[in-house]
A and B are shown apart, each in its own frame.
Chain A
Amino acid sequence: MAEVLLENINKNFGKIKAVDDFCLHVMDKEFIVFVGPSGCGKSTTLRMIAGLEEISSGNISIDQHIVNNTHPKNRDIAMVFQNYALYPHLSVRENISFGIRAQKLPKNEITSRTMEAAKILGLDELLDRRPGELSGGQKQRVAMGRAIVRKPKVFLFDEPLSNLDAKLRHKMRVEMKKLHQQVQTTTIYVTHDQVEAMTLADRIVIMKDGKIEQVGSPDEVYHKPNSQFVASFIGSPAMNFFSGTLEVLDNMHFLRCDGGETIDLVDWPDLIGSKLTMGIRPEHMELKTEKSSKAVTTVLDAKVAVLEPMGHEVIVTCDSNIGEVIGKYTDNTKLKVGQTIHFEFKKENIHFFDENSGKRVS
C-alpha cells in the first residue's frame, strides 16, 4: 500500500519531448488510469515509474521515498505488459512464482503464495501448462498472477487488455475491478480505450502530447471536461461541436456559426462576442419528431442522414444547417432517412470552449 508522487516529470528522447512537466499525486489504494491517444506518453510515464526508463528531470516518489535512481527491483512494484511477457519455456506455476523466487523466500511460502494467487485468478487447473497452451484470457490472468503474487506496493498495467477480443475484454475488466477491490493495491493503469478508463478508474488522467489535459473522476471528466480535447476523447459517440461567435440581438442570445447560420440559445451574457466552440453530447439531446410547444432552451432542426441501430438504441447522424450532428435515441418510433427531426437540449448540458486554446470557458 503506498502513495505515488510524480513531480514535474520530464522525458526527452533526443529532440522528442515524450513527457512534459507531468505532476500527479496518486493516493494510497487508488486506481488511476492514464488515457490518451497513441504516442501521448502514457507508456513512457509508466515505465519511468517502474524504473525501466530514466527520467530526464523531476522527482518520482513511492511511499514517501524518492526513487529517481532506484533499480526497478527495489521499487517494490509489479508490472503487467501489453503482450503479457510470459516466459514461454516455463510452466504457469513457474511463471507465477518466478518473481518471488528471486526474493529467496522459503519454499513453502513460495508454494502457498503461488497457490493463493492461482486461486484468486482461477488458474488452479492450469498450473502445469506452458504459456503456448493457454488462451489469450488465460495468459492475461497468468500475467496478473505474476503481479499479485509479489504483493507489491504498486501495480503498473500497460494496456493489459488490448490484445483480447471485445467480450473477453469486458470480462477481464470486471475481474480487474474485483481484484482491486479485493487486494486494494495502488494501481496505475494505462489504456487508450476511454470505456476502460471510465469503468475502472477512481481518477482518470487524460494525456495529450506528453502533457496532462485533465485529472478527475470519471464523472468530472465526463460532465466538466477541461478542454475540447477531453470532451471529444471521453464519451461515445463523441460530443458534437459547432464553432462560431456568441451574439445577442433583441435580448435573444444565439451562436452565429462560421457559415453564417445561427442557433438560438438562452442567456450566456458573459460570453457575448467571443469566438467559441459549442459542445453537446449526443445523449444529452432529446430527439423529437414533432416540435414541442413548451419552451425548451434550444432546438436544433436536422434531417436524418444515417441510422445505426444498436439494439437498445439507435445512433442517428443528421445534417443540420450548422453542420453534421450525431444523436441517440431509444424510442420505438421508426425514423426514416430524410425525415426532419428536432433535437432539444438544456442549457446545463451545453459546453463552451475557447476556439483558439480549446479550454473550457463556461
Chain B
Amino acid sequence: MIDQASRIAYLEKIQPGKIIIWTLLFLGGVVMITPLAFMISTSFKTGTEVFNLGIIPENPTLKNYIFILNESKFLRWMLNSLWVATFSTVSVVFFDSLVGYTLAKFTFRGQTIVFVAILSTLMIPTEMLIIPWYMMSREFGWIDTYWGIAFPGLMTGFGTFLMRQFFMGLPDELIEAARIDGWSEFAIWSKIAMPLVVPALSALAIFHFLGNWTAFIWPLIVTNDPDLYTIPVGLASFNGEFETDWEIVMTASCLATLPTLLVFLLLQKFIIRGVMLAGLKG
C-alpha cells in the first residue's frame, strides 16, 4: 500500500510541460547526434559494410585510418588548415580590435563614414565576393598560395563591429589616466584596453578560427594544387565522380573534427562566456 501511495505522489509531481520539453530536447539531441554516430561508426567499417545501417560495425577495422594517414595528403591538409586558420585568427584579433578601438575611443573626421562602411560589408554575402576575390587573386598571382586562401579573412566587418561595441563600454577615465601617465596610444591599447576585453576577444578568435577551419568554397576555388588543399577541400576530393569510398570520407571527417573538438574541450569556458557575451548562437 505504501508503495502504491508513493507511486501516486511521484506521478503527481510530473508536470506535463516538463515532459514535453524533455521529449523535444531528447529528439533534438538524437537528430544532432545520429549523423555524428554514423560518421564515427562508418569510419570503423569495411567498404562492403558501409550501406549496412547498423551502428556497431560487424568487423571493426582501423584500415581506413591507416589508409588515410599513409596514402593521402591528409596530414598536409591538416597543417594547411591549421596554418591558414591560425594566421587569419591572429590577424583578425589584432586588426579588428585595433580598428574597433579607434572607432570607439577616438573622434576624427569621417568617423561615421568609416563605421558605416565597415558595417555595410556585413550585408554582402560571401558568395557575391568570390568573383572579385578570384579576379584579384589571379591578377596578383595569389592562386595556389597560402596568402590567397587566407586574405579574405584577415579582417572582418563583424569582428570590428563587435570589438568596437566592447571598447565603447570601457570607461574613458582608464584611457585618460594612462595617457596622463605618459603611455603611448599603442601601449594604452595593448596594456589597458586589450586585457579588459579578453572575453570578447576570445569569442571572436574562437568563432573565426572555427569558421576558417570549416571554410570550403573559397579555398576550393583558389587552390588547384592538392598540396595546398585545406581540410574541407581535401575531404571533398575523396568524393569520386562515379563512386565514393564513404568509409574513407567518414574517417577523414572524424579526423578533421578532432582539432575542433579539442578547441571546444580546452576552451569550453571561454566559448560559453563568449557566446553569451556576443549574443550569438553557437
Contact = CB atoms under 8 A, between A and B. Distances in A.
Interface of A: 50-52, 72-73, 77-79, 81-83, 85, 87-89, 98-99, 102-103, 146, 150
A103 B178 CA distance: 12
Contact of B180 (A79, A82, A83, A88): A79
Main secondary structure of the interface of B (DSSP, over half): helix
Given A85-B171, A88-B196, A89-B195, A150 B181 contact: yes
B37 interface: no
Given A73-B179, A73-B180, A150-B181, A102 B187 contact: yes
B177 A81 contact: yes
Nearest to A89: B195
Main secondary structure of the interface of A (DSSP, over half): loop
Indicate the member of B174, B176, B182 with the most A CB atoms within 10 Å: B182
B173 A99 contact: no
Interface of B: 171, 173-174, 176-183, 187, 192, 195-196
B176 A52 contact: yes
Contacts of A89: 195-196
A73 B177 CA distance: 10
Contacts of B171: 83, 85
Given A85-B174, A85-B176, A87-B174, A73 B182 contact: yes
Given A87-B192, A89-B195, A99 B182 contact: yes
A8 B192 CA distance: 36
A24 B145 CA distance: 66
Indicate the member of B171, B178, B179, B180 with the most A CB atoms within 10 Å: B180
Contacts of A81: 173, 176-177
A238 to B, nearest CB: 32
A78 B177 CA distance: 8
A74 B274 CA distance: 39
A162 B173 CA distance: 16
Given A87-B192, A89-B195, A103 B182 contact: yes
Contacts of A88: 196
